[in-house]
Structure formats: structure tokens, C-alpha cells
Amino acid sequence: MIDCIFCKIINRELPASIIHEDDQVIAFMDIQPVNPGHILVVPKVHREFIAELDEDLTSRMFNVAAKINLAIRKSDIRSEGINYFLADGEAAGQEVFHTHLHIFPRFRNDGFGL
Ligand code: 5GP
Ligand code: ZN
């Protein structure tokens, strides 16, 4: 049994604000958002790194991300831009070893300097 926070969210053993779910992918609000509307897109299978996903699942993640992107643009968050961010490996800043894509709204002068 893998002790993984995101698997627990997928299995409803931990609460999360889920905004999308299909047979392969789930998306929920980040518990410590860098900006309002910070969302994580997560494959439902436990894989540590993005390159472990097959082509179909990788494209499903990015298709879901595209829908979320459009929803953010239409929402009253009034974001001025959107970052996609994926930390792949500890040296890249990965803290949860169940691969995931961050999507977060950006605002001019929001201080990230990215
Ligand atoms: P990483 O550094 O691995 O790319 O990002 C992990 C992200 O998962 C962080 O932004 C962190 O706030 C988020 N996170 C960690 N634990 C939980 C949790 O229990 N629930 C939710 N919704 N997000 C979490
Ligand atoms: Zn997992």
C-alpha cells in the first residue's frame, strides 16, 4: 500500500475541493495556493514522474488543463495570465511524489517574478 496524499484524495480518504474528475484524471484546489485559483491536475494512477505516463494519459492531463485554463479566464478571478508548472524530481522542487501539473492564475506584479 503506497502512502500517498494524492492517492488518498483520489480514494476519498482525504478531503479536497475537487473541480474535475473523469476515468483517468482528477483536478483539485491546491491546499496552499500561491494565488487564488491554484489547481493541481493529477493522473489517477500512482506514478512518481511525468515520463512514466503513457501518451494517452499525458494528453488527457493537458486537455483537462486546457479546459481549466479556459474556465479560469472566464471566471471572476480576472487573472492576467496563467502559469503551468510541473516539478519533476526532488532537485526540481517536487514534494509530492505522485506526478501533478500546477495551474495557477498570474497577475501583474504579483511578486513571483517567473
Ligand atoms: P510539488 O512541490 O510536489 O510540485 O507540489 C505539491 C503541491 O501539493 C503543493 O503546492 C502543496 O501545497 C500541495 N499539497 C500538499 N498536500 C496537499 C493536500 O493534502 N491537499 C491538497 N489539495 N494539496 C496539497
Ligand atoms: Zn499516489
Buried b (16+ CB within 10 A) or exposed e, 52-64: ebeeebbebbeeb
- What pLDDT sits at residue 112? 80
The pLDDT-based confidence of 41 (bands split at 50, 70, 90) is very high
Residues 71-109 have pLDDT tens digits of 999 999 999 999 999 999 999 999 999 999 999 999 998
89 Cβ below 6 A of ligand 1? no
pLDDT of residue 70 exceeding 70, the answer is yes
The pLDDT-based confidence of 20 (bands split at 50, 70, 90) is very high
| φ, ψ (nearest 5 deg) of residue 44 | -75, -20
Cα–Cα nearest to 101, from 55, 68, 56, 54: 68
Of the ligands numbered here, which is closest to the C-alpha atom of 90? 1
Contact present, 73 and 79 (Cβ < 8 Å): yes
Full-model pTM: 0.97
Q: Work out the percent of the chain whose per-residue pLDDT is above 90.
A: 93
Of 11, 17, 31, which is best to mutate to test ligand 1, by the most ligand atoms within 8 angstroms of its C-beta? 31
Q: Which atom of ligand 1 is nearest to the CA of 94?
A: 3
Contact present, 89 and 49 (Cβ < 8 Å): yes
